[in-house]
Chain A
């Protein structure tokens, strides 16, 4: 008898409403997560986990839906931190009421554009071969073999070149940080 009741009790959430929330908000959140992790597999997983965490506690802050995306983003950042274990402490819980969505949005945009300029300028400071290997391997996404073919080098030479190019770039970025 109890066994028969169980499935009903687990169906506590309104799937239609969850679909509506996801449809209206997934894109900015996914972009934000992707920006951090740079791969689709992880971006999809973390986006999902952020929704689960936020909606599990949504009764605390449903009165401020305009904060919702900012709250999702901050939660997603906590998920990334937890998963990558950069911070051994448990991710800080975010209080929905303390987030100013306007500030968060403005910060996102201005930060993003200044970061882009910084990276682009740093790339320009690399030597021709180093810049090309980064363009082909990372920006255009070619394989080592394809890049080797295009740059007329061996695969192992490409690996060495990209390692050094990234070392140089990391140092330039660090100088400008």
Chain B
């Protein structure tokens, strides 16, 4: 009996893990266990299926192709030829007919958008932003003329609304805003660009691709063009809709969920695709009589020699520039004594900066950061950047820009940071090249040998509800393992609640391990008998997942 219970439990565990249970490959009988396994599958069918990753259609096609080749019997060449040729013809016909008959599913339309955008070099359109209140009353917020290209350059001019007459542009060298009302031109760093413009096509498609789900929910006509309506459920935040042009397969309109009784609809009332942005739009100039207000802490230079002359050291470039990237400029931030080597990934428009400066004080990693190792020192890994400590704090604002990640470490008497809009894996390639391969990035799959001596029971339902609260903007401290540990230790000391200051200070806590999924926080001082707090991201293992205390170690003399 016990064996059956265990087998059934293992069967459930296998299905929960998305794996094939061994019972599915074995001859089956009409035993009770088989009946119960079938009942498990029936109950599970109430849930939404566990869908494969976004690259599944491509992987599937490649595997199917291999399978078809394998199925061709080698010993019957005539048949191979006949079946092969007939098969090719049939598949081609099938593909063409399916494309014309079947409605696009969510996955295929996302793929189609990506493919269509791959062909676009630049676009020019008129963007309209309309606000709708809970009563259904609409008001035009802004009408903008938009020029944008794949390298991330853009020119936006307000035609109507509060931005009327204001021009915002970024040419990769600098970002600037022309304010006719004040006769001023404000200059900012080109990257990172905290606010680009809304409904940027490439970014929009990327967001849809990374979403939890995208499904076609209807059809509509927008600005005289027929469109499919897609409902997008992002990983966090509320579901929203986009309208995808049936002909161009590119987004035409986006509608946010109703939040705080307001909803925004952003529409390209006109859009066309061109080869480039005309030079006059992205050439920086200060109109006659206007005042230039330069808030850019960076100065562009032409060579590393100029860097040395200005800040006194030669910047260390990567041993080799990672594939797909080209060097895109050199800059210094004289005030902060930093060098900045810029790289651009031509295909995707992602930018990466290698920042270098002299270290000041001790190296402290942001408590929310994942910790790796570079050149045998701690490497602070943030994705996205929540805190700009050390050289991240000097020169440009990185923290709080959601698509910027960073890896920061010290090596050979300098502090380095690789910062960029590229995925963390690509930043890691730069770090590998800068450290001569001496870089370890922890994986959430890394198993820790550390286990708490005392386990803390966890109520997963409570945690799920807390995660929802944090997603909605409350209790952001749950994203910081040091803060969660501080609250836990403090409540252990004062179970009745905390009044006034926490009995254990934030500075007395140090995150000594964090792989993004598990964290260990060490408590210094002698105020509490707790030495180490063990935390886990139980609900979601990314930067938006809350930390939960799962155990602790008392001090040795306890």
Q: Which residue of A lies closest to B464 (CB)?
A: A140
Q: Is the CB of B18 within 8 A of A39?
A: yes
Contact of B95 among A20, A34, A51 (CB under 8 A): A20
8 Å CB contacts to A: which residues of B32-88?
A: 32, 35-36, 38-47, 49-52, 56-58, 60-65, 67-69, 71-72, 77, 80, 83-88
The interface residues of chain A lying within 8 Å CB-to-CB of B102 are 24-25, 69
Instruction: Say yes or no: A144-B9 contact (C-beta < 8 A), given A12-B80, A12-B87, A59-B86.
Output: yes
User: Chain B: interface secondary structure?
Assistant: helix
Q: Give the docked Cα–Cα distance between A23 and B106 (Å).
A: 10
Given contacts A21-B98, A25-B98, A139-B43, contact A163 B8 (CB under 8 A): yes
B321 lies within 8 A of chain A by Cβ? no
Question: Per-position contact with B for A140-155: 1 when CB-CB < 8 Å, else 0?
Answer: 1111101001100000
Enumerate chain B residues within 8 angstroms of A169, measured Cβ to Cβ: 39, 43
Known contacts A163-B8, A170-B35: does B459 contact A150 (CB below 8 Å)? yes
A18: interface (CB < 8 Å): yes
A44–B49 alpha-carbon span in the complex (Å):
12
Query: Which listed segment binds A: B22-30, B127-135, B168-176?
Result: B22-30
Please state if A43 and B57 are interface contacts (CB–CB under 8 Å). Answer: no
Closest B residue, CB atoms, query A136:
B460
What mask results when residues 107 to 130 of chain B are scored 1 for a CB within 8 Å of chain A, else 0?
110010000000000000000000
| Least CB distance, A153 to chain B, in whole angstroms | 13
Is A26's CB under 8 angstroms from B46's CB? Answer: no
User: Is there contact, CB below 8 Å, between B99 and A38?
Assistant: no
Contact A17 B91 (CB under 8 A): yes
Cβ of A125 within 8 Å of any chain B Cβ, yes or no, is: no
A65 touches B98 (CB 8 A): yes
B22 to chain A, nearest CB (A): 11
Q: Are B61 and A15 in contact (CB under 8 A)?
A: yes
B60 A26 Cβ-Cβ under 8 A: yes
Q: Which residues of A are found within 8 Å of B111, using beta-carbon distances?
A: 23
A162 at the interface (CB under 8 A from B): yes
Contact count band on A? 35 or more
Taking CB as reference atom, which chain B residue is nearest A49? B67
Whether A17 contacts B92 in the complex (CB less than 8 A), given A49-B67, A123-B43, A166-B40, comes out as yes
Q: Which residue of A lies closest to B40 (CB)?
A: A138
Nearest opposing residue in chain B for A142, CB measure = B460
Instruction: Report yes or no: A167 in contact with B20, Cβ–Cβ below 8 A.
Output: no
Q: Are B8 and A12 in contact (CB under 8 A)?
A: no
B97: chain A residues at CB < 8 Å are: 62, 65
Q: Can you list, as one digit per residue, whether each of B492-511 has a CB less than 8 Å from chain A (1) or not (0)?
A: 00000000000000000000
Closest to B100 in A: A65
Question: In the assembly, what is the distance between CA of A40 and CA of B17, in Å?
Answer: 9
Distance in angstroms between the alpha carbons of A170 and B16 in the assembled complex: 20
Known contacts: A41-B18, A66-B101, A169-B39. The answer to whether A12 contacts B60 by CB under 8 A is no
Q: Is the CB of B5 within 8 A of A163?
A: yes
Instruction: Please classify the interface of chain A as helix (H, G, I), strand (E, B), loop, or mixed, using the class held by over half of its residues.
Output: helix
Chain A residues with CB below 8 A from B557, complex form: none
Which chain B residues lie closer than 8 Å to A37 at the CB level?
20, 24, 41
Asked if B444 CB lies within 8 Å of chain A CBs, one says: no
Knowing A48-B60, A52-B68, A150-B459, the reply to whether A166 touches B92 (Cβ < 8 A) is no
Which of A38, A120, A143, A156 contacts B44 (CB under 8 A)?
A38
| Smallest Cβ-Cβ distance to A134: which chain B residue | B43
Rounded to whole Å, the gap between the CB of B114 and the closest CB of chain A is 11
Known: A20-B95, A44-B52. A166 touches B36 (CB 8 A): yes
* CB-CB contacts below 8 Å: A6-59 with B: 9-28, 30-31, 34-45, 47-49, 51-52, 55-56, 58-59
* Across-interface contacts of A115 in B (CB, < 8 A): 42, 45
From A172, which residue of chain B is reached at the shortest CB distance?
Answer: B39
Q: CB within 8 Å of B: which of A62-84?
A: 62, 65-66, 68-69, 83-84
CA distance A24 to B99 in the complex (A): 7
B101 & A13 in contact (Cβ 8 Å cutoff): no
A86 interface residue, CB < 8 Å from B? Answer: yes
- Indicate whether B21 reaches chain A with its CB closer than 8 angstroms: yes
Say whether A166 contacts B61, CB under 8 Å: no
Contact A19 B57 (CB under 8 A): yes
A109 on interface, CB distance cutoff 8 Å: no
Asked if B35 and A139 sit within 8 Å, CB to CB, the answer is no
A167 engages B32 (CB within 8 Å): yes
A119 touches B45 (CB 8 A): yes
| B92 proximity list for chain A (CB < 8 A) | 14, 17
Q: With the chains together, A44 CA to B77 CA distance in Å? A: 31
Q: Which residue of A lies closest to B87 (CB)?
A: A59
> Do residues A18 and B458 form an inter-chain contact, with CB atoms below 8 A?
no
> Which A-B residue pairs are the 6 nearest by beta carbons?
A12-B84, A52-B67, A59-B86, A62-B90, A17-B95, A34-B49
A-B contact pairs, 9 of them (CB 8 A): A14-B91, A24-B99, A24-B102, A30-B52, A37-B20, A51-B60, A119-B42, A159-B8, A173-B42
Q: A34-B50, A39-B20, A146-B460 are in contact. List 14 more A-B contacts (CB 8 A).
A: A9-B77, A12-B85, A13-B65, A19-B57, A24-B108, A39-B21, A55-B87, A68-B94, A84-B28, A86-B28, A139-B46, A141-B16, A142-B460, A149-B457
Residues in B lying within 8 Å of A, measured CB to CB = 4-6, 8-9, 12-21, 24-28, 32, 35-36, 38-47, 49-52, 56-58, 60-65, 67-69, 71-72, 77, 80, 83-95, 97-99, 101-102, 104-108, 111, 457-461
